[in-house]
Amino acid sequence: MPVFLCQHGKYAHDWLFLLTCSEINPIFLSRYFALGLNNRLNCLMSDIALWIQRLVNFGSAHFPLPGLPLQGESLIVRNFQRSDEEKRQQWAKFNDPYLRKYNFNPRGTLENDRTFQKLQDRIRLAVDTLQGEMVGYISLKPVKNDPFAADIGICFDADYVSKGLGREALSIALPWAVKTLNLKRIILEVDAVNQRAVELYRSFGFYVIKERWQKEDNPVLTEIMEKNNISRYIRKRKNQIEILARRMEWISE
């Protein structure tokens, strides 16, 4: 049985999920309402703790995420399962030196087990074609000190980029996430050199709130830089390659 912490009024819709879940033990509800006023107030103090706990519960294989799966014109967004760790490691790889860091390399079963457990602090979604092939991945992670915000990440099999699938996946996942988690802000970070992704996010209403240079451990980019400084989004400082990253934000209306 999942363990549910008490919910603040602004998460009132979660009670619908809780009450309709067949695994909920009614004893839990009676124990919560039997708490004294002070205990209830203490239980409501940390919104971010509630957010993380809720994600852990929702991410459990024993408690399907509410409202999923969601189907679009050519994609299905569903809960990420343990077997999906291996599936995305079999994706086609990016050859573009700027995108190679998004390749998922094969790992052993034990390492994949650890990864799956470690990332239970966030919502993880798989993106399938209508034929059932997993081609994309979306994650939503809590933002410290802001229970109404989430960091979103999205990636796709290299063979399925530039086909409009990223746009469709976001069109499906964003409204669902905002409603399910009562989100007011969604934040992401993208390399400025990835202009295709930047423009996609802009089209959804994301805007740049911060830019920073981040270190990049990429021998291929180092070789490119030594031959020719081809991009204003990449620089070399003290023998260290740095890429300009843009922090972008979306605000709920």
pTM of full prediction above 0.85: no
Residue 100 belongs to a domain: no
Q: Which residue has the higher pLDDT, 186 or 56?
A: 186
Cβ-contact 112, 85 below 8 angstroms: yes
Which range of residues forms the domain containing residue 214? 188-253
Residue 233 belongs to a domain: yes
List pLDDT tens digits, range 210-241.
999 998 877 776 666 656 555 688 887 887 88
Residues 51-77 have a mean pLDDT of 70
Residue 237 belongs to a domain: yes
Residue 4 belongs to a domain: no
Residue 142 belongs to a domain: no
Tell how strand 146-156 and strand 207-215 pair up: unpaired
Q: How many domains does the chain have?
A: 1
List pLDDT tens digits, range 174-210.
999 988 888 899 999 999 988 999 999 999 999 999 9
Please report which confidence band the pLDDT of residue 24 belongs to, taking 50, 70 and 90 as the band edges.
very low
Residue 202 belongs to a domain: yes
List pLDDT tens digits, range 76-105.
999 999 999 999 999 999 988 878 888 999
Residue 56 belongs to a domain: no
pLDDT at position 51 is 53
Residue 194 belongs to a domain: yes
Please report which confidence band the pLDDT of residue 50 belongs to, taking 50, 70 and 90 as the band edges.
low
